[in-house]
Amino acid sequence: MQRIYFDHNATTPVEPEVLDAMLPFLSGEYGNASSIHTFGQRARAAVETAREQVASLIGARPQEIVFTSGGTEADNHAIFGIVEAASGDRRHVITTAIEHEAVLNTCQALEKRGVKVTYLPVDREGRIDLNALRTSLRENPETALITVMHANNELGTVQAMEEIGRIAAEADAYFHTDAVQSAGKIPIDVKAMGIDLLSLSGHKLYAPKGVGALFIRGGTRLRQLLYGGHHQRGFRPGTENVAGIVGLGKAAAMVQNSLAEDSKRIGALRDALERGLLERVQDSHANGSRAPRTPNTTNITVPGIEGEALVIALDLKGLACSTGAACSSGAVEPSHVLTAIGLPADEARASLRFSLGRHTTSEQVDFALEVVPAAVDQLRELSPTYRKTAEAR
């Protein structure tokens, strides 16, 4: 049976070129990047090359890149670090209702420490109201941080980053963005967007799991999250994961070089998949499709089925997709993202996310357009609620 992978927002395969770049640092090049002998110097040089590659991907300076264990650590460091370094009464954070749990749970932890957090609602397309953001800034105490994800992991919806950056600058608040789902898919320029801190993760852009990065604009007041040695200018102590960092750097360079071409090709495939599913699956609709989106993501509601049941049915046919964030897999509650855009709980549970990648082909899309409608029909036959609704029509 052929296996088709449409779950790239959960994780991506490691590119062969990335693995090739990593392999020497898993064997012969085993030096500690903090050692001053030749072994250490070679490891240090590889780490600094990767720092330059990651910085180039987002328009930053190499010295503004701190390597982490992934997006969750980077989000935690940015949010806790800014608030804990803030002076006086600056104990207010603004975020959105559709953030990843790495941001939402961090903000909830801050609330337990007495920090006030505003959770901005979103419209039907998953976008925040910029006027609501401005209004929230007038709250007392003063706002220390605005943290708004660049692209949503379930919808692909992209926020108006430059406008948010200007609002943050006018309010003298720091601006952090979780760019885990946008880095390597759409252009990022931290200077043009007014971003002070940005999180990204290697395994979302064809590097290995367990490595990520945090961009920290020069001059940003940020308290460190971990304590130990003086690695990475004291921001992130601990011996560097040299092989993982090299892999992240190589992946960043690769996706940057092919960004425009990949975006166009993958976007066309996503549109063909989305259009075909809406035509073939009765009563289905796409979520967030009227807003700017990452080119690889579509989220489809299929009334009359349970999303997890459909995911299992499709997996048995050789197609991998998801009901939403991998970090929320197995959750009883419906997606907080889909309920935030106004979907009732039953429709939120009946939604699937298809996320394509660099190696997705038109033949794979054609395969999905065959198996998804068939699987939906089979599950709907078993749903008395959907049958009654269909008969009433």
Positions annotated as catalytic residues are 327
Phi, psi of 92 (to 5 degrees): -135, 135
Note whether 144 and 80 are within 8 A (CB): no
Phi, psi of 9 (to 5 degrees): -75, -20
The alpha-carbon radius of gyration of the chain (Å, integer) is 22
- β-partners of residue 118 are 94
Distance CA 119, CA 135 (A): 12
Write down the residue that tokens 């090739």 correspond to: 20
